[in-house]
Chain A
Amino acid sequence: MTKKHYNAIVIGAGASGGIIAKELAMEGLTVALMERGDWQVFDKHPTDELISQRTSVLDSVSGPDWKKNPRVYVGPDGKREIVRPGDGRYSPLAAVVGSGTVTYGAMAWRFMEEDFKLKSEYGEVKGSTLDDWPISYTELEPYYEKAEWEIGVAGQAGANPFEAPRNKPYPMPPFEYNRDGEIFSAAAERLGMHPFPIPMLRNSVPYNDRPACIRNRTCVGFQCPVDGKNGTQNTVIPKAISTGNCDLIVEAKVAEILSRPNGNVKGVRYYDANDREKTITADIVIVTASATESARLMLNSKTDLFPNGLGNNNDWVGRNLQGHAYTGAFGIFDHDIKSYAGPGATMGICDFNHHNPGIIGGGLICNEFNRLPYLFSQTRPPGEPSWGKGHKEFQINNLKRMAGLHGPIQEMPMFDSRVTIDPEVRDHWGIPVVALSGQRHPLDRVHCQFLSKKAEEILKEAGAVRTWLSVGGGGGPSGHQHQNGTLRMGNDPKTSVVNKYGQVHDIDNLFVSDASVFVTGGGFNPVLTIMAVAYHTAGYIVKNWKGTRFR
């Protein structure tokens, strides 16, 4: 039974929403945790590549529903095109309880100290809105720790010499290297690099009342069949519900945040599982719906005080959409190098995050997640046939002999890479949809080339008989699974949307906490930072909660 009024409404039960709901519910606040999807059920997609979150050819088993959730993609030539979640340009994220934390590869990176002050480190970048975060690594450190222990991370403290200072080790021992990880780490060491086991949000040993990882081949893009992968759906969300203070409302599509005449927000209007329009009210609202959907909700919520959308009187809402250009290199070996045990990525290298001459930010390098058979069929060295006898022969002979080293590059934020609301297209519920437009900064491509060449060096040293680069960057707009930056945090209300606690400038009881508040996206997978920021925001809300009202 849902109530009519809650202390807090949290919109989106993903990496951040689950954490905030739990933190608030534990403190005695009544919470409505709203999720557009439902609990994911493993049996709907047993090891099925074509409907997985990574290769959504026929469907996205983790949602969102293709038919009901269109978006608009605006190409470089200004051409508008309606896209569905199966289309890479859509920038889809899983629409289930836990969202991407159900299906992710689960790398658990802390950003480095430099990642929070890129402008101070590197200066102005022409054509980019590059800036410092209003919060430092040191301020976030306790919250990283909290995420590592409560959600559950396996890793080796101190194994990465470039790691920012930490107060506590990881709660679980690190994962072993797989076969290619072993070979690549030895090669990287010979080259003077510093490989180490990737910290992972998976159980290397039984933890949190759930079993250890079984090295399942179909891991990234899939729900874990033994629940050895740690997300908010199997940690903080059940905990939030167990307090009795948190109602998880599934299949709730929030259309609009409702405001009072004084500018404060008072609740939300949404469509329930049966498409009935409903309203609930709250003392505070926390938007945790992802960089694309949180921006959409803000832009779709217009009032007299904010005629262009909540928090948008400076026209910064939806801007600086970032993600990660992935870049690297492939190699073919004359022996089986991939064991094909899951998930596949075990070794990381942070030598190329920061302090490389001429490179702003940089990015990490990892060995790859398994390429399942169809995805593998779409990956070939230049000049190889794309069909016919030669293509089949390559597939049969090289599935375990081809390996890649890749990483996410620190993108340069672009003011015009953005989320807007399409003037015409509506979703199934009549809610105006996201339009994505803009381009990546040309420097991204340069940085990608740098990282790809480093990856190729390792492959060659490891004995690859044939190597080739796979260079990312270029094109645009950015976004995708690592989407971030659209509701930037900052001290100056003129050039940001929220303050360092995620509180919207000028609206005391409206918060945002997900990757949209990121100033820059780092050269790392973002999820642990999303979680740390969520704990930080939740801590601020709890501290300022005065019994029945906020401040």
Chain B
Amino acid sequence: MTRYVTGRRDFLKSSLLATGGLLALPSCLKNYTAWQFFTEEEALCMSAICEQIIPTDIYGPGAGYAGVIFYIDKQLDEVFLDDREEYREGIRLIQDSAIQLHGMKFEALDFELQKGFLEQMEVGENRALSAEENMQQSALFRKMVQHTMQGFYGSPRHGGNRNYISYRLMKLDYPYIVGQNRYRDLKNH
């Protein structure tokens, strides 16, 4: 029997409690309907994974604020076409095993439990999965890490790194290009 209570409101509440701030979620995620690849449920799970990979911390916002999920969603629709099935199946396995092991969906787990879950996924030691599944999940996790880094540290043109947040965290000045270079689409700056 599963103990988790579904519903977006509950999720948001628990996620806020778990991560301690709105920054962890893209502010528009809850009303976002324009997913190109993910279902809304997958997006909630994936968004929590991204925030684990690059968390909000004393330095500032993480992958959630940066909108990395939008980067991954966009690229799975446009560029990473070969990764689509792997993501879909992988997220399903993550949710199934989170429920089996902890009685809740992944995104509803508290932050430390999520972290431990992903650490096991990384090394292929998820107790709820077969050896073969663990191997696939381990490879998928490496891919998720790379994609999250791209979304966070790459140009905002591709959907992530909202407001150039990662550049600000790294204290990078605007690249100096005479006469040509301006950050584009910078609305809240």
Where the two chains meet, the residues of A that have a C-beta atom closer than 8 Å to any C-beta of B are: 42-43, 46-50, 57-59, 214-218, 225-226, 340, 373-374, 376-378, 386-389, 391-393, 395-396, 399
Contact = CB atoms under 8 A, between A and B. Distances in A.
Given A218-B175, A225-B181, A395-B170, A50 B57 contact: no
B170 A388 contact: no
Nearest to B62: A392
Contacts of B79: 58-59
B145 A386 contact: yes
B139 interface: no
Contacts of A373: 153-154, 166-167, 170, 172
B138 interface: no
Contact of A392 (B55, B115, B179): B55
17 contacts: A43-B180, A47-B181, A49-B154, A49-B155, A59-B79, A216-B175, A218-B177, A225-B179, A374-B150, A377-B149, A377-B152, A378-B146, A388-B53, A391-B54, A392-B55, A395-B170, A396-B170
Contacts of B122: 387
B54 A48 contact: no
Given A58-B79, A59-B79, A392-B62, A377 B153 contact: yes
A61 B152 CA distance: 20
B163 interface: no
A58 B54 contact: no
A395 B57 CA distance: 13
Report, as a range, how many residues of chain B touch the other chain: 35 or more
A335 to B, nearest CB: 14
Given A374-B149, A374-B150, A393-B57, A214 B177 contact: yes
A215 B178 CA distance: 11
A390 B183 CA distance: 29
B154 A374 contact: yes
A396 B59 contact: yes
A217 B175 contact: yes
Contacts of B184: 46
B134 interface: no
A387 B145 contact: yes
Given A47-B181, A214-B178, A388 B115 contact: yes
A50 B169 contact: no
B157 interface: yes
A42 B157 contact: no
Interface string B147-189: 0111011110110000000110110100111111100100000
A389 B57 contact: yes
Nearest to B119: A388
Given A50-B155, A218-B175, A374-B150, A42 B170 contact: no
A317 B14 CA distance: 65
B52 interface: yes
B180 A374 contact: no
B15 interface: no
B181 A392 contact: no
Contacts of B177: 46-47, 214, 216, 218, 225-226
